[in-house]
Amino acid sequence: MDRFDTLIIGGGPAGLIAAIRASSLGQSTAILEKNASLGEKLLLSGKGRCNFTNGEDDINAFISRYGENGKFLYSAFSKFGPRETMVFFANIGVAMVEERGRRIFPKEGGSQKVLDRLLLECKKNGVKIFRSTPVKSLKVKNGHIDYIITGNDEVTAAKYIIATGGKSYPRTGSTGDGYRFAQQAGHTITELYPALVPIRTAETWPKLASGCNLRNVRLHVFLDGKEVAERFGEMEFTNFGVSGPIVMELSSHVPDWKGELIFSLDLKPSLTHEILTERVKREIEKLKGQGRFFRVVRTLVPKEMVRLMLELGDIPHDKPVEYISDEEIAEFVSLMKDIRMTVNGLWGFNNAVVTRGGVSLKEIDPATMKSKLCDNLYFAGEVLDLNGPSGGFNLQVCWSTGYIAGSVND
Ligand SMILES: Cc1cc2nc3c(=O)[nH]c(=O)nc-3n(C[C@H](O)[C@H](O)[C@H](O)COP(=O)(O)OP(=O)(O)OC[C@H]3O[C@@H](n4cnc5c(N)ncnc54)[C@H](O)[C@@H]3O)c2cc1C
């Protein structure tokens, strides 16, 4: 039976940084990873470019992006926050650039470079990596893990870190095993939802514009008729509803909104009804004597959306523009400012960037990531009940909690 000072279950970003930290402190350290290779999800992150943190300098503002549970991170961030993360990556040879929304990416090499550098650090520090080694269960007795069982062996350690990720994108290896392990140690798992995920609509017409990407639009969210949120930015239509950055971000809140949920899409949020009406009239004027209505629409929305707008509106596509009445123009303007969709649920975990919910934070010491129920158990990464919006916030949870979990505290 192998024995280590620190044993980490899961070789994703949280597990890797925990291993680097523990080994750098002289701990004999091992990672048990069920896949044949490590960091599969990390490789997908940021579409392969790895938006590994965010440049927001105000820690309070940073933490507010995680909602209520964010305050759990104050302690970890005070020791190893976004700044320290950037210094860490610079020191291991990952130069970085800041982009729109203060997203931080590697300057070159993308996710593969981040992964390669983390693995190189593990190698330098003598971290033992067991690939294709799924952990099956923990043997817990009187608030203490005696050993863990893998496919073909038992392994013991002074300290165990669960870094198995959440349930999202299970094809990367994150199949939710860590929740089961946590429960074996007596932990509570809060309700799990897919987050940062496309949204389904009751209406089937979004498929008419599937793949159409809209920029600078505003989505208003109405719960039982009362506006509860709004977002400005990019979204897209899919075969089953809507997706894109503002939709994905709203998806994390959808489970909290119990009741009839309506999205109202404003295609031209910077234009008032009056100004937009003038604009439509100008386009009509230009086409008088030679144009049909669809050509007006073509000047107002992306071409992939023309068919959808004609379907939703009442004006026949081939109506000569000179016959379009003021009432028809007013109706079309109202449509452009208020396209309504009924939210019918979220896509599942297969398509979710992160999991909302996880190991209850009440049962973990925020200064050490140590279980309050099991004296040699720690947690790091997405398995925790922490999730943020896109922009580097989710990987930052992994770096901070992984680093702290890998530290020697007692
Ligand atoms: C498509 C996509 C794009 C993303 N882009 C970004 C981005 O740009 N920026 C950002 O901040 N976040 C991004 N995220 C989120 C981010 O990738 C995750 O939050 C992060 O990978 C979680 O890290 P983790 O180490 O906690 O878990 P994971 O990365 O899920 O790693 C867990 C590891 O544990 C292993 N494991 C699981 N069970 C067992 C077991 N029983 N035994 C042994 N090993 C096990 C898994 O195989 C896996 O290797 C993205 C996610 C996705 C899906």
Is residue 14 located within the same domain as residue 161? yes
Is residue 170 located within the same domain as residue 58? yes
Q: With contact defined as beta carbons under 8 Å apart, do 259 and 238 qualify?
A: no
Pocket flag, ligand 1, residue 43 (CB < 6 Å):
no
pLDDT band at 66 (very low <50, low <70, confident <90, very high): very high
pTM of the model: 0.94
Please give the torsion angle defined by the CA atoms of residues 387, 390, 393 and 398, in that order, rounded to the nearest 10 degrees: 70
pLDDT at 13 exceeding the cut of 60: yes
Spatial distance between the Cα atoms of 403 and 398, rounded to a whole number of angstroms: 8
Pocket test for ligand 1, best of 118, 197, 395 (most atoms within 8 A of CB): 395
Last residue of a domain, one of 347, 368, 397: 347
Looking at residue 254, its pLDDT comes to 96
Last residue of a domain, one of 308, 329, 347: 347
Q: With contact defined as beta carbons under 8 Å apart, do 5 and 126 qualify?
A: no
pLDDT at 133 exceeding the cut of 80: yes
Looking at residue 2, its pLDDT comes to 79
Is residue 226 located within the same domain as residue 298? yes
Is residue 36 located within the same domain as residue 131? yes
Is residue 207 located within the same domain as residue 289? yes
Pocket flag, ligand 1, residue 15 (CB < 6 Å):
yes
Residue 46 CB contacts under 8 Å (≥ 6 apart), including other chains: 52, 103, 105, 110, 111
Give the mean pLDDT of 234-243.
Answer: 97
Pocket test for ligand 1, best of 111, 174, 351, 397 (most atoms within 8 A of CB): 174
Closest residue by Cα to residue 379 from 14, 94, 54, 41: 14
Looking at residue 399, its pLDDT comes to 98
Spatial distance between the Cα atoms of 218 and 167, rounded to a whole number of angstroms: 30
Instruction: Provide the β-strand partners of residue 129.
Output: 31
Per the structure block, which two tokens stand in for 306? 């023309």
pLDDT at 72 exceeding the cut of 90: yes
Spatial distance between the Cα atoms of 114 and 391, rounded to a whole number of angstroms: 17
**Number of domains the chain is built from:** 2
Give the mean pLDDT of 333-361.
Answer: 97
Give the mean pLDDT of 319-335.
Answer: 97
Is residue 220 located within the same domain as residue 295? yes
Residue 325 CB contacts under 8 Å (≥ 6 apart), including other chains: none
CA of 11 from ligand 1 middle (Å) equals 9
Closest residue by Cα to residue 150 from 336, 49, 7: 7
pLDDT at 1 exceeding the cut of 60: no
Looking at residue 246, its pLDDT comes to 96
* CATH code of the domain containing 387: 3.50.50.60
Across the chain, mean pLDDT equals 97
Looking at residue 188, its pLDDT comes to 98
Is residue 176 located within the same domain as residue 45? yes
Is residue 224 located within the same domain as residue 130? no
Give the mean pLDDT of 367-389.
Answer: 98
Q: With contact defined as beta carbons under 8 Å apart, do 339 and 267 qualify?
A: yes
pLDDT at 223 exceeding the cut of 70: yes
pLDDT at 213 exceeding the cut of 90: yes
Last residue of a domain, one of 323, 347, 371: 347
Is residue 70 located within the same domain as residue 116? yes
Is residue 309 located within the same domain as residue 394? no
Q: With contact defined as beta carbons under 8 Å apart, do 185 and 140 qualify?
A: yes
Is residue 93 located within the same domain as residue 170? yes
CA of 342 from ligand 1 middle (Å) equals 31
CA of 13 from ligand 1 middle (Å) equals 7
pLDDT band at 290 (very low <50, low <70, confident <90, very high): confident
Pocket flag, ligand 1, residue 184 (CB < 6 Å):
no
Is residue 115 located within the same domain as residue 251? no
CA of 270 from ligand 1 middle (Å) equals 38
Pocket flag, ligand 1, residue 41 (CB < 6 Å):
yes
Give the mean pLDDT of 281-308.
Answer: 95
* Cβ count within 10 A of residue 378: 27
Give the pLDDT confidence of 140-190 residue by residue, as tens digits.
Answer: 999 999 999 998 799 999 999 999 999 999 999 999 999 999 999 999 999
pLDDT at 116 exceeding the cut of 70: yes
3-state SS string for the chain: CEEEEEEEECCCHHHHHHHHHHHHCCCCEEEECCCCCCCHHHHHHHHHCCCCEECCCCHHHHHHCCHHHHHHHHHHHHHHCHHHHHHHHHHCCCCEEEEHHHEEEECCCHHHHHHHHHHHHHHHCCCEEECCCCEEEEEEECCEEEEEEECCCEEEEEEEEECCCCCCCHHHCCCCHHHHHHHHCCCCECCCEEECCCEEECCCHHHHHCCCEEEEEEEEEEECCEEEEEEEEEEEECCCEEECHHHHHHHCCHHHCCCCEEEEEECCCCCCHHHHHHHHHHHHHHHCCCCEHHHHHHHHCCHHHHHHHHHHCCCCCCCEHHHCCHHHHHHHHHHHHCEEEEEEEECCHHHCCEEECCECHHHEECCCCEECCCCCEEECHHHECCCCCCCCHHHHHHHHHHHHHHCCCC
Pocket flag, ligand 1, residue 115 (CB < 6 Å):
no
Pocket flag, ligand 1, residue 398 (CB < 6 Å):
yes
What is the extent of the structural domain holding 312?
198-347
pLDDT band at 410 (very low <50, low <70, confident <90, very high): low
